[in-house]
Amino acid sequence: MSTTESTPSSVAAPARPGLMLAMATLGFALNFWAWALISPLGPLFREEGTLGELSEGDVALLVAVPVIVGSLGRILVGALTDRYGGRLMFPVISGITIVPILFIAFFALDSYALLLVGGFFLGIAGTAFAVGVPFVAVHDRDAEPGEEPIPAESRLNALIETVVGAERVVVLEPDFEGATGVPGHKPQGALRRFADVGPEGLPEPLARAARLVLELAGRARP
């Protein structure tokens, strides 16, 4: 399988890529810090007894809530990022995350129930994983048309569609070499063969992948 970023050369590059990289790195760092904020505090609350007598299960629940919310919330945030772009969703997620941080700091430090509520909304910070550049996945079906792949390959194909999204997956039948006529290592071979070829000269699977890349890049532009 290979992945292609949806920022082709035909789309204008950001004017200040260094600044954007620095801001994205800082944003991710702050969101991940917020997302993991309760994890080191859970055992401390139990040892000091500031929340009363807590069992190991109570501490585990306290730590697990933001992790679960962040993991499941990526599905929704990923879909919203595909539609509205990372430039909008990143500051939105970061701004929302400020609220539970302040809530925990000023209102929830002496209440287990309020910490659970704060931890639930703190999980939104964990969805920042899904705010990024959309990808198009190109992978081999490893089976001739009309034939079924082996079970392991079928499971892998289904997993790729689940993770990337079926609408952003281009499947090569029976495989890369058979679909494109390019032997050898896939990315380098395709680059050497098609670098100077226009869209009309690309094999249909690769042309479809290029169209998807351009479409996603267009959505991501402000």
- CB contact at 8 A, 176 and 194: no
Query: Could you read off the pLDDT of 169-221 as tens digits, one per residue?
Result: 777 777 777 777 776 656 666 767 777 776 677 777 777 777 776 776 665 55
> How many CB atoms lie under 10 A from the CB of residue 167?
11
H or E, element range at 95: helix 86-103
Question: What's the one-letter identity of residue 181?
Answer: G
| CA 73 from centroid of its chain's CA atoms | 11
- CB contact at 8 A, 142 and 153: yes
pLDDT at residue 2 greater than cutoff 60: no
Q: Cis peptide before 174, with omega less than 30 degrees from 0?
A: yes
Domains along the chain? Answer: 2-6+17-130 (1.20.1250.20), 135-220 (no CATH)
- Enumerate the β-bridge partners of residue 170: 138
Which pLDDT belongs to residue 9?
43
* Percent of the chain at pLDDT exceeding 70: 75
CA distances from 65 to 34, 37, 42, 110, 201 (A): 13, 12, 12, 18, 52
pTM (two decimals):
0.57
pLDDT at residue 140 greater than cutoff 90: no
pLDDT at residue 37 greater than cutoff 70: yes
Instruction: State the burial class of residue 93 (Cβ atoms within 10 Å of its Cβ: 0-12, 13-18, 19+).
Output: buried
Which pLDDT belongs to residue 6?
45
Q: Cis peptide before 40, with omega less than 30 degrees from 0?
A: no
Q: Determine the length of the chain.
A: 222
Maximum mean pLDDT: which of 119-133, 157-171, 174-188: 119-133
